[in-house]
Amino acid sequence: MAIILITGGTGLVGKALTQQLLKSGHEVRILSRNPKPSTSIKSFYWNIDTHEIDETAFDNTEHIVHLAGEGIADKRWTDKRKQQIISSRVDSFKLLANVILKKNLQLKSVVGASAIGFYGMQTSETVFKETDIPQKDFLSEVCTKWENVYSSVLNNTDKLVIFRIGVVLAKNGGALKKMAPLFKLGLGSAMGSGQQYMPWIHLDDLVANVQEALFNESYNGTYNLVSAEHITNKEFSKQLASAYHKPFFTPSIPAFVLKLMLGDMANILLTGSKISNQKLLNTGYTFKYTTLSTALKACV
């Protein structure tokens, strides 16, 4: 049995990971602004804004998983919102790092989330690998700062694993929760040109990889956490309509409409490139969902 401390434990990925770890017989601790007494999950207080954290959460902790972060696409990107997006990822980990360094803890693993936004808001035929450099846009900036903060604990962990996560597909949350209402009505459509790629990952494969990263010695370093299938936004939309047994003939939503509605944030929807998962496959991991159609069937 291992003791694992999770940030973002009440989010989509955090909840699923917690359940999986508990099933495997591990002790799970989460950090929360509103810790609740529970028999299965121990929760401890923290507050990023006031830089408060209950240091007893770290007693005998062997592994840390950092999933905390404000939703990238939840609100329009004002300057204030952009700062919240960065701070919720970077400053939250700094809180952890301060305790780790102060107590001089030696952890078995630190697993940190990042995103494929590292490669920038662009559409190209390049298949991006982990060794490629970031772009000079907001998403790249977020991911670069996010990943850089993890290096502060490199000397205090046996290994550091960072996952650049794609679009998460899940039954009760993630991207599909936002897309479903229109598609269920038969009004789903592609966005902009529809030629931008949508690198995706099913929640089950995401959780399985985080669990592997904690305990499997093959994992160390940075990985693109996406399926191998390169799907365009138009093809994704078509398959989603099909999964709901709805027609797909609605014209694409023009790029200018999305930009009027969402401002800069529209670029998340209007751009996307191919991402390689070969490094992940080299660990020996076998994906449960290798095609979009099977992943959507499981979710819908």
pLDDT at 96: 98
Cα→Cα distances 145→45, 70, 108, Å: 25, 15, 23
Q: Residues 39, 98: contact at Cβ < 8 Å?
A: no
Here the CATH number for the domain that contains residue 156 is 3.40.50.720
Q: Which residue in 28, 25, 101 sits closest to 62, CA to CA?
A: 28
Measured in degrees and rounded to the nearest 5, phi and psi for residue 228 equal: -80, -15
Task: Name beta bridge partners: 64.
Answer: 5, 110
Q: How far is CA 273 from the centre of its chain?
A: 17
- Residue 239 CA from chain centroid, whole number: 23
Number of domains within the chain: 1
Residue 134: band (very low, low, confident or very high) from pLDDT cuts 50, 70, 90? very high
pTM confidence score? 0.96
The residue with tokens 């499997």 is 216
pLDDT (tens digit, 9 = 90+) per residue, 48-78?
999 999 999 999 999 999 999 999 999 999 9
Q: What does the chain come to in residues?
A: 300
Residue 250: what pLDDT? 81
Query: Residue 221's CB: how many other CB atoms inside 10 A?
Result: 10
- Among candidate residues 60, 62, 46, 67, the one with its CA nearest the CA of residue 4: 62
pLDDT tens, 147-189? 999 999 999 999 999 999 999 999 988 899 999 999 999 999 9
Q: Which domain holds residue 264?
A: 3-299
pLDDT in tens, 179-236: 999 999 999 999 999 999 999 999 999 999 999 999 999 999 999 999 999 999 999 9
Q: What is the pLDDT of residues 228-283, one digit of tens each?
A: 999 999 999 999 999 999 999 889 999 999 999 999 999 999 999 999 999 999 99
Distance from the Cα of residue 41 to its chain's centroid? 22
Gap between the Cα atoms of 104 and 86, Å rounded: 26
Confidence of residue 38 (pLDDT cuts 50, 70, 90): confident
